Structure 1
Amino acid sequence: MPVPQGMYGHGGSHQAPSCFDRMKTGFGLGFCIGLASGAMFGGFTALRYGMRGRELINNVGKVMLQGGGSFGTFMAIGTGIRC
């Protein structure tokens, strides 16, 4: 029985992704995780402070973008270090 070669093994025309491609993927993954955690924590905090309506949406959106950007940046840096 042949041994599996893996995703980027011999016998195919695929090449392994470059370090920059891996960093972009890490940023995207971190950004999505940061958005989700920002929605949860920002939403709960805004509701606890009694925000409603437009103020709630603006505050939660800002927290989501900040969380996504910062976590995505750190994931990209961590991925770059591993390259």
Structure 2
Amino acid sequence: MADKSNKLSENVPGPYYVDEECIGCEVCVDTAPDNFKMAEDGTHAYVYKQPENDSEKELSEESLASCPVDAIGNDG
């Protein structure tokens, strides 16, 4: 389970976040590209835009469930 005390600094404020456990596998970016981006160095992903509609929320939840290292959290 993601740890909100280890959120990556690139995350925008809001309920969804990526923590330091991210391995940069790109699953979340592939699943929800409107909400997740890879860092420039490719080492990790982060939330660059919080979900704004039901579709984005569903894809963000799918990303959370699909993360192989449980690095995505939702405090909403």
TM-score with structure 1 length normalisation? Answer: 0.29
Q: TM-score, normalised by structure 2?
A: 0.31
Q: Which has the higher helix share?
A: 1
Which has more radius of gyration? 1
Which one has the bigger strand percentage?
2
